[in-house]
Structure 1
Amino acid sequence: MAPAAPFSPPAADLPGKPAVAAWVPPPATKETHNFAELQSIDLAQMDSEDPAVVDRLVQQVKHAIREDGFLFLENYGISLEQLHRQFALAQYLYKNITAEDKERLLFHPEDGVWSGYKHPFGFKRQKGVPDGFEQFNWYKPDWEDQANRVPTCLHPFMDEIEAFCRYLSESVNRRLLTLFSRVLELPDDYLWDNVQSHGSPTGEGYFRHALFRPVGQETRDASKGLRMHGHTDFGLTTLLFSVPISCLQIWGQDKEWHYVPYKPGALVINIGDTLEIVSGGHFRATRHRVYRPPSDQLHEERLSLVMFNSSQGDLPMEPALVSPLIQRDGCVEDQGIYKEYRKRTTVGAPPTNRQWREIQIATCTDPTDQEHNRIGVHQTIVDGQIMHQREYMGMKVLLPV
């Protein structure tokens, strides 16, 4: 395929743009225990003229997503300077968003949509226990009506933010889906053309500016250190930029939680439920959570940029049976959500991708919710391990706490 063009964003010093303070990455933890070892994928190798190099890359990706569902992505076309500019804009948002905009743009998660501003008081519109976690999410309507649906302080910078999201979607994620299509032995653009959503800079997915502020002991006790429950993402792929504050953890094959190490400039890629089902269970949806950082980072803020890539909403959740890999090896039916999907389809039609993501958003619970987060309600014990259990549209989801 043709070599990918590097990211070329709009200028930061155009007339009408206020000065934005640089984002200075906080210090990385000095602790070294309990960190995961993730494979790092050099996306630039896709441009190699040597077929052997490209084939090795495909095999490397195949191993990473079948074993872990998580990988690092490097050399994807965005420089460290360009990336830090985007972090600076996110930092600018949380220093300048007004109380009026917070109220005007307050999210309605009960409708099944992560759109607008999330207050630092839990995952419901009505404020609950403080969780110190703020976010602003761009969804399709927010791109279409930026004047009314985006914080006023960011209006001068929307050319940069939109260009950044389009590059992540149309260049980075498209190349990533090309690799995944090759693992499934399908044409390069199969997943991009037939599964990935389109129609906005993020399709039907989301772009997020997130800020985790330090929380007090009362909140840490109520949540048992969790900032977000152990979960899998509902979509295709998630592109999360590596940051120095170690809060993100993945569930390892040893059935333990491991921090994801900091790799400056790298993207952390995880696999969502949709891609696990599309792959017939050959790809493993990533079990991950956000947890308190190591002790030397407890009082630091964690700024985060995330792109959630979603499939077409009206598309039924089903495997790509045209895949030669699936035709030859069958489906992997003994893991994750694919096992539950197979049970569901024996008694009725599969849910659509929109139904699957919206029911999870609408029923999301808070780590501080002590009414539901206990044995016998949303938790159970399996082989001595406390598990979070939910059921969506007849499909049971069981994930480690």
Structure 2
Amino acid sequence: MPAPTIPFVPRYVPAPPTKEDLEWADLPIIDFSDSGTPDGRAALTPQVCRAMQTYGFMYVVNHGLTQAQNNRIFDIADIPFTQVPPDEMKRFTADIKGSGSYRGFKPRELWEIDNGVRDQIEHHNMHRSITELQNHPKALQAFLPELRAFTEFTHKRILEPILQILARGLELPEETFVKMHGFDDPSETYLRFMKYYPRSADDEAKAKNVWLKGHTDIGTVTILWSQPVSALQIRCPDGKWRWVKHLDNAVVVNIGDSMEFLSGGFYKGTIHRVRQPPRDQQGYPRVGVFYFASANEDVLLKPMVESPVLKRVGIIRRFDDEKAPTMDQYRKGRTAAYGLSTLTKKDDVVEEQIIHGVPVRHYN
């Protein structure tokens, strides 16, 4: 039987890792070799839960994807930005403000970053089903089966064990959060390919070198495939911004607002931002691969009060339970407003907006 033909894709060559002496965040590295078994997840629970209570970020290694498969995904990730003509890209542009959804292309200069500076970010967002709810540009057509396999792998082999471990940390049944994230259930979990382009020196000065303001993510869990261009920073528990270091074939995992709400503040949605890369990487574009997980659309984002842990330690609320939005309401509100609405300045650093009764902060 002949082997299946793998479509050719040009090799994406990223910038070399920085050699500059940066202040790196000391994030825990979690080995997922045994995450497929209950005993393995039980052993990982203290490490993961400690990470998500403090930093809200961690690395995951030995997740099951090879370095060659990782390279292939980044090759494919560059296609929407290099092989889709502008007129076709325009046809697939998402109506972000009108629909509250990122599905499709987000063009450059849609958002205001600061002092009149517009973003230099393009991204292409695909519903995790890849083909069932969305059409795609011609250049991506040959790769859709691979992308579907990739989203299934990421969902089943990385996201679900994380959700099982987080439930264990709250002393809830292991499948509690998994049931809220059905791969085939209605939700806006999506795969994103994202490309940051260098900015002018004038824009860098006006925006204080910030490419994306400090924020927390909308959904429950974000999975970012590590790539060499250093730009991501997290606001550490001591209040300092530190860089997230690249690790070959690792994923960087962080908690989003929705998991913070569901866990009653037990797990932290960590503030993070993107800024101009260090000097030896300036001038390079930065391609990213993300899996943004959201709970099912009808899930109410209120604390799991039945958790024995929350009964012992207490619940930190950002809104009253009776005002809790659904995942669909919160996601649409945050998506439609980001970078496109007026923020209220709280002080020299913090700006705020209210989304479905929830105060959402941005850090400049």
Verify same fold: TM over 0.5: yes
**Matched ranges for 1:342-381 at <5 A:** 344-345=320-321, 348-365=322-339, 378-381=344-347
Corresponding residue number in structure 2 for 1:297:
281
Corresponding residue number in structure 1 for 2:104:
116
Q: Does 1:13 align with 2:5?
A: yes
Report if the CA contact (8 A) 1:197-1:313 is conserved.
no
Instruction: Give the whole-Å Cα distance in 2 for the aligned partners of 1:12 and 1:136.
Output: 27
1:120 CA displacement? 1.2
Instruction: Give the whole-Å Cα distance in 1 for the aligned partners of 2:100 and 2:213.
Output: 18
Inter-CA distance 145–189: structure 2 relative to 1 (3 Å threshold): closer
Identity %: 28
Report if the CA contact (8 A) 1:114-1:139 is conserved.
no
Deviation readout 1:365-392 (Å, 9 max, x if unpaired): 17xx9xx5xxxx53332xxx61122221
Q: Does 1:162 align with 2:178?
A: no
Return the match for 2:208 from 224, 232, 235. 224
Corresponding residue number in structure 2 for 1:73:
60
Corresponding residue number in structure 2 for 1:32:
21
1:322 CA displacement? 2.0
Report if the CA contact (8 A) 1:198-1:204 is conserved.
no
1:92 CA displacement? 2.6
- The residue type paired with residue 72 of structure 2 is R
Q: Does 1:204 align with 2:167?
A: no
Report if the CA contact (8 A) 1:198-1:312 is conserved.
no
Q: Does 1:391 align with 2:354?
A: yes
Q: Which sits farther off after the overlay, 386-395 or 235-244?
A: 386-395
Q: Does 1:88 align with 2:75?
A: yes
Inter-CA distance 54–327: structure 2 relative to 1 (3 Å threshold): same
1:47 CA displacement? 4.7
Inter-CA distance 323–306: structure 2 relative to 1 (3 Å threshold): same
Corresponding residue number in structure 1 for 2:237:
253
Q: Which sits farther off after the overlay, 114-123 or 39-48?
A: 39-48
Inter-CA distance 398–204: structure 2 relative to 1 (3 Å threshold): closer
1:139 CA displacement? 2.6
Bigger RCO (CA 8 Å, 6+ sep): 2
Instruction: Give the whole-Å Cα distance in 2 for the aligned partners of 1:145 and 1:177.
Output: 25
Instruction: Give the whole-Å Cα distance in 2 for the aligned partners of 1:141 and 1:218.
Output: 41
Corresponding residue number in structure 2 for 1:131:
119
SS of corresponding position for 1:22: coil
Return the match for 1:45 from 34, 46, 64. 34
SS of corresponding position for 1:165: helix
Inter-CA distance 170–54: structure 2 relative to 1 (3 Å threshold): closer
Report if the CA contact (8 A) 1:109-1:123 is conserved.
no
- The residue type paired with residue 119 of structure 1 is P
- The residue type paired with residue 346 of structure 2 is T
Instruction: Give the whole-Å Cα distance in 2 for the aligned partners of 1:108 and 1:225.
Output: 28
Instruction: Give the whole-Å Cα distance in 1 for the aligned partners of 2:120 and 2:188.
Output: 27
Instruction: Give the whole-Å Cα distance in 1 for the aligned partners of 2:206 and 2:100.
Output: 26
- The residue type paired with residue 291 of structure 1 is R
1:223 CA displacement? 2.5
Report the number of matched residues: 358
Tell me the TM-score normalised to structure 1 length.
0.83
Deviation readout 1:306-332 (Å, 9 max, x if unpaired): 00000011221111122221223222x
Structure 1 unaligned segments of length 5 or more: list them.
1-10
